[in-house]
Amino acid sequence: MTNQQATEFTHTTVLLHEAVDALDLSGERAHGTYIDGTFGRGGHSRLILEKLSERGRLIAFDKDTQAIANAAEIRDPRFTIVHNSFATITEALAQLQIQHVDGVLLDLGISSPQVDDAARGFSFRADGPLDMRMDTTRGISAAEWLAHEDEEKIREVIKNYGEERFAFQIAKAIVACRKTDPITGTRQLAQLVAHAVKTREKGKDPATRTFQAIRIYINKELEDLEVGLDAAYAALAPQARMSVISFHSLEDRIVKQFFASKVKVEQPDRRLPIRQTELPQPKMRLVERIKPSEQEIAVNPRSRSAILRVAERLPDGGLQ
C-alpha cells in the first residue's frame, strides 16, 4: 500500500493492487487507453501509469478541486485529468477524440483527506462548516439545502440514502431547529440528530447515517453512478474490463445490478422459430469479487466495507 500526501492529510488507497491488476494491463493491453473515474489522491492512477507502456494513455476524472491540484503534479504526457464527474465520460472522450477504452476503474465514495479535513464538512468528528460538496465550485452546500428544503424531502433523503429508521424524527427536529437557529456546523447537526435518534447502533455514532445521506444527495452520487456505469460500458472495447470499488450497500447494489443486467439475458419462447445465432447474448462476464484482506483492514480500518467487483465486456456484446 502507498500513502498519498494531500496537504497535511494522508490517504491510503483501498484495494490498490487488486483493482489495478483486475484491469489486466499485461502484454498488448499495456499499450491501451484507460480511465480512472475517481482520481482522489492518485493511488490507482499512479500505479496504472507504472504499468502502461509509452504508447498507453490514462484519462482521470474527479470533482474535488484538491484532487485536481494533486493531479496537476503528475508530469506525464500519457496522463489527462478532467475536472468533472465520471458521469461525463461520454462527453470527455468525444472532446479528446477517443472512441473506445481498454479499461475503467471506479473507486466510489469519499477519500480520507475529505473526511479528515473539518473545513469540508463531511465529518462530525471535528467541528466545521456544513458544506459536504465534493466540488466546492458548484452547487449548494448541505447547510444551504437544510435551510430551505421542506420536511418531507429531508425525511425522504435521510431514509432512502441513509437507510435511517428515525428519518421522520430527524427531519422534524431539523425543521424545528432552523426556525430559530440556522444549522451551519457539523457538530451542531450531529448533536441535533443524536437527540432525535432513540437508540444507537453499537460502535456507530447516531449521526453517521444522516451525514451519509445528505452527502450522497448533495453530490448526486447515486445518480452519477448510474449514468457513469452506462457511459463506461458504452466506452469499453471488446474484452475491456470495468473494475469498481464500492463502500456501502446502496452503491454496491447499483453496481451489482448493473453487471447482472449485462450478464443475464432474457431467453425467448423456445416455441418461436429463432435460429441459434439470433438468440440474445450476454454483453459482459463477471470476472471476480474481492474484499480487503484482514491485513489490509488492520492497516486501514476504513477499507473494511469495501467490495471490488470486476466484469469484462464480451466480444459478442457489440459496440454501441
Domain extents in the chain: 3-112+221-317, 136-218
SS3 76: coil
C-alpha separations of 36 from 66, 118, 165, 194, 215 in Å: 16, 27, 35, 38, 22
CA distance 207 to 197: 8
Known binding-site residue numbers: 42-44, 62, 86, 107, 114
Residues contacting residue 250 through CB under 8 Å, at least 6 positions apart: 161, 163, 216, 222
**What is 3-112+221-317's CATH number?**
3.40.50.150
Summarize pLDDT for 234-265 with one digit per residue, the tens: 999 999 999 999 999 999 999 999 999 999 87
C-alpha separations of 47 from 17, 76, 166, 207, 295 in Å: 8, 13, 43, 36, 20
3-state helix, strand, coil in the chain (%, to 5): 45, 20, 35
Specify the pLDDT at position 281: 81
Share of the chain above pLDDT 70, in %: 90
CA distance 178 to 176: 6
Sorting pLDDT into bands at 50, 70 and 90, what band is 137? very high
Cross-strand partners of 290: 308
Nearest partner of 281 among 265, 269, 258, 268, judged by Cα? 265
C-alpha cell recorded at residue 3: 500513502
Cross-strand partners of 6: 9
C-alpha separations of 14 from 11, 112, 175, 296 in Å: 9, 11, 38, 8
Sorting pLDDT into bands at 50, 70 and 90, what band is 201? confident
Same fold, 3-112+221-317 and 136-218: no
CATH fold of 136-218: DNA polymerase; domain 1 (1.10.150)
Specify the pLDDT at position 175: 98
Summarize pLDDT for 25-44 with one digit per residue, the tens: 999 999 999 999 999 999 99
Summarize pLDDT for 88-132 with one digit per residue, the tens: 999 999 999 999 999 999 999 887 778 878 889 888 888 999 999
Counting every residue, how long is the chain?
A: 320
Residue 81 · residue 39 · CB < 8 Å:
yes
pTM assigned to the model: 0.89
CA distance 132 to 142: 6
Residues contacting residue 272 through CB under 8 Å, at least 6 positions apart: none
CA distance 146 to 188: 13
Summarize pLDDT for 64-97 with one digit per residue, the tens: 999 999 999 999 999 999 999 999 999 999 999 9
CA distance 186 to 182: 12
**Mean per-residue pLDDT, 145-168:** 97
CA distance 109 to 104: 16
Known binding-site residue numbers for S-adenosyl-L-methionine: 42-44, 62, 86, 107, 114
Strand duo 33-36 + 9-12: pairing: unpaired
DSSP state of 2: -
